[in-house]
Amino acid sequence: MQPLPKLASTVRLATIEDAPVILAMIRELAEFEKLLPEVTASVAGLEKTLFGPKSYAEVLLAEDQGEPVAFCLFFHNYSTFLAKPGVYIEDIYVRPEARGRGWGKTLFAEIARIARERGCGRIEWWVLDWNESAVEFYRQMGATAMSEWTVYRLNKEQIDKM
């Protein structure tokens, strides 16, 4: 395997000014996942929930010579078994023209650095079964599939009924 080219990159925590580009990449990801109709997020919504008085998640933004090429939205969860926080990756996305150049590994390395720095016991995320290239990428990193667990969800309508 050939070594990856050196990236003229920065990976940084996003700021409120990045909300439009974050939304653009969320939409690109949703289109790739064939879920675009489900996206109701807005710039104002991202500004409020990511950068408002109560921040619910953080975003790493990867840039190649100043151009955004990838992002990773994450937040903390908690393991009662470990009595430690964890990092949950909600979305990680590399734009098609930037794939295969090490951006995914770069984002995961930064998430791992953050997890170590914050005393986290694990990093978790979901992947769609049909996304074979992502599954293979995660396997190559040494990630373990948690196939014995089933994900459940209550949507807003179901929450409102409770």
Residue-wise pLDDT tens digits, 40-68:
999 999 999 999 999 999 999 999 999 99
Please report, to the nearest 10 degrees, the dihedral formed by the alpha carbons of residues 94, 69, 42, 123 taken in order. 50
Residue 1's pLDDT band (boundaries 50, 70, 90)?
A: very low
List, by residue number, the catalytic residues.
138
| CATH top-level class of 9-161 | alpha beta
In one-letter notation, the amino acid at residue 94 is V
**What's the N-to-C CA distance of the chain in angstroms?**
53
Residues 141, 108: contact at Cβ < 8 Å? yes
Residue 69 near residue 22 (C-beta atoms within 8 A) = no
Contacts of 12 (CB under 8 A, 6+ apart): 60, 61, 63
pLDDT digits (tens, 9 = 90+) for 80-126: 999 999 999 999 999 999 999 999 999 999 999 999 999 999 999 99
